[in-house]
Amino acid sequence: MLNQTAANVVGSQGQENHEQSHPRFLAHHFHSSEQQFDSGKLGMWLFLITEVMFFSGLFCAYAVYRSTHPEIFIYAHQFLDANLGATNTIVLLCSSLTMALAVRSAQTSQQKMLVVYLTLTLIFAAVFLSIKYVEYSHKWHAGLLWAGDFHPVAGHEHAHDGDGQDAGKTTVMPRDVGVFFSIYYALTGLHGIHILGGMGAIIWILIRAVRGDFNAEYYAPVDFVGLYWHLVDLIWIFLFPLLYLIH
Partner 1 sequence: MSVLQMETESAAVNERPSAENYLNCSHGFWSWAATRDHKRIAIMYLISVLGAFLLGGIFAILIRMELWTPQRTIMDHDTYNHTFTLHGAVMTFLFIIPSIPAAWGNFVLPVMLGAKDVAFPKMNLASYYLWVGGALFLLAAIVLGGLDTGWTFYTPYSTTTNSSVITASIGVFILGFSSIFTGLNFIVTMHTMRPVWMTWFRMPLFLWSLYATSIIQVLATPVLGITLTLLVAERALGIGIFDPKLGGDPVLFQHFFWFYSHPAVYIMILPAMGIISEIISVFSRKPIFGYRFVAYSSIAIALLGFLVWGHHMFTSGQSRISAIVFSALTFSVSIPSGIKVFNWLATMYRGSIILTTPMCYALSFIFLFTIGGLTGLFLGALATDIHLHDTYFVVAHFHYVMMGGTLVSFIAGLFYWWPKMTGRMYSEFWGRLGCFGVFAAFNLTFFPQFILGARGMPRRYYNYPPEFQLYHQISTVGAFLLGASLFVAAFTLIHSLFRGRKAPANPWGAASLEWQTSSPPPLHNFESDPCAGDPYDLDSQIYDPDLSGYRFRVESERLHSTNDSAI
Site string for partner 1, 202-231 (x = CB under 8 A): ------------------------------
Give the DSSP per-residue string, 147-195: GGG--PPTT-TTTT-SSSTTTTPPPPPPTTTHHHHHHHHHHHHHHHHHH
Pick the stretch among 11-19, 117-125, 200-208, 210-218 that binds partner 1 (CB under 8 A). Answer: 11-19
Q: Widest CA span of the chain, in angstroms?
A: 90
**Cα four-point dihedral sign 199, 204, 205, 211:** positive
Residue whose C-alpha is closest to residue 229's, from 104, 131, 103: 103
Q: Which stretch binds partner 1 (CB under 8 A): 77-85, 111-119, 146-154, 214-222?
A: 146-154
> Does residue 3 interact with partner 1 by CB under 8 A?
yes
Asked if 67 touches partner 1 (CB under 8 A), the answer is no
Distance between CA atoms of residues 87 and 94, nearest Å: 11
Query: Burial level of 128, CB count in 10 A (0-12/13-18/19+)?
Result: buried
Q: How many residues bind partner 1 (CB under 8 A)?
A: 51
Q: Does 148 bind partner 1 (CB under 8 A)?
A: yes
Please state the closest distance from residue 40 (CB atom) to partner 1, in A: 8
Beta-bridged to residue 215, according to DSSP, are: 218
Residue 46 is a binding residue for partner 1 (CB under 8 A) = yes
DSSP, collapsed to helix, strand or coil, labels residue 25 as coil
Listed ranges 68-76, 87-95, 112-120, 211-219: which one lies at the site for partner 1 (CB under 8 A): 68-76
Q: Based on CB atoms, which residue is closest to partner 1, 82 or 183?
A: 183
Q: What are phi and psi of 218, to 5 degrees?
A: -140, 100
Nearest approach, Cβ of residue 147 and partner 1 (Å): 3
Phi and psi based region of residue 96 (left: phi greater than 0; alpha: psi -120 to 50; beta: remaining): alpha
CB nearer partner 1, residue 162 or residue 189: 189
C-alpha 128/C-alpha 159 separation (Å) is: 21
Q: Does the footprint of partner 1 cover residue 147 (CB under 8 A)? A: yes
For the window 91-130, what string marks contact with partner 1 as x by the rule CB under 8 A? ----------------------------------------
Question: Residue 115 and residue 8: Cα distance in Å, rounded?
Answer: 47
Q: Which stretch binds partner 1 (CB under 8 A): 85-93, 132-140, 174-182, 220-228?
A: 174-182
Sites of contact with partner 1 (CB under 8 A): 1-5, 7-13, 27-29, 35, 38-39, 42-43, 46-47, 49-51, 53-58, 60-61, 64-65, 68-69, 72, 146-149, 175-176, 178-179, 182-183, 185-186, 190
